[in-house]
Every structure is written in C-alpha cells, then in structure tokens.
Amino acid sequence: MAFRAVGFLIGMAFGFVVGWAHLTDYDVIRAMLLLQKADVFLLMMSAMVTAAVGVRALRIFNVRALLHDVPITWSVQSVRRRHVIGSVVFGVGWAIAGTCPGPVAAQLGRGQIVAAFTIVGVLAGIALHDRVSIPRESDLKRPRLQESANLAGL
C-alpha cells in the first residue's frame, strides 16, 4: 500500500509541475511545435538529461527493480523501420491532439475534457499495435504488464 501511495504522490507532483509549466495548454504546445518558443523543448531536455543521469547511476550502483528484483539494465538497438514509423505516428498524434500522453491526466485534473479524446487515441493506438505487430523474441521472454502487476500484488 505504501508503494502505491508513493506512486500517487509522485504522480500528483508531476501533474502539478506539468500544469504549472502550462504543458496542458494547447497554445503552448502549438507554439512549441511551430518552433516559436523553445521553453518546452528546454524543459523536456532537462528531464531527459536528469533521467539519463539517473538511470545510469542506478545501473552503476547495481540497483534492482522494485517489482521484479532484477538488476536495472538495457540494451541498445540500431534504428529500425518500426522506430521511425512509431515516431512519425506519435508526432502526428501529438500535432493533431496538441498534447502527448504525458500531460493527459493533468489536463483531466484541470477539467480539460478534450483530453478524453487523447486517451481514446492512445488506447486505440495500443490496441492497433497489439493487433498488427509480430511478437519479438524479447517480448516473449518478458512477462506481460498485467501479469507483472498481478505478481507484484498491485
């Protein structure tokens, strides 16, 4: 239960920061996508640098994952066709919706009901991907998300 409470508090803090930075406002996202304002790019870049340093520190100090108690590690892949197609689809969805999946919960929390359409789009995209994609070998070895949640008692 404490694990969920911590996750909830971190999510609330993230939503507050996203709302405070106006990343839920269509006009802010539109100005960023039109390359009229760089502040959103700077905010995203600082988040990526922080995450990159953080996950490398976790790997260096041999920290284990909370849910599965396995060492945190990853492998690097070369760019493949599916990566490019996924990036294009994500970008088109972002341009149409004026948001990415990150701030959707914050938008709903602020009463921006239009975020419901983004959520429907995300869920439709996931369903479409699961329906048309061929399972990769790495996916067959990894437990599914629902199975992972059940194993963790969530």
93-132: per-residue pLDDT in tens?
888 887 877 788 888 888 888 888 888 888 888 888 888 8
pTM above 0.75, yes or no: no
Averaged confidence pLDDT in the chain? 80
Per-residue pLDDT at 40 exceeds 80: yes
Residue 139 has pLDDT above 60, yes or no: no
CB atoms within 10 A of CB 56: 11
φ and ψ at residue 78, rounded to 5 degrees:
-75, 160
Whether the CB-CB separation of 115 and 123 falls below 8 Å is answered with no
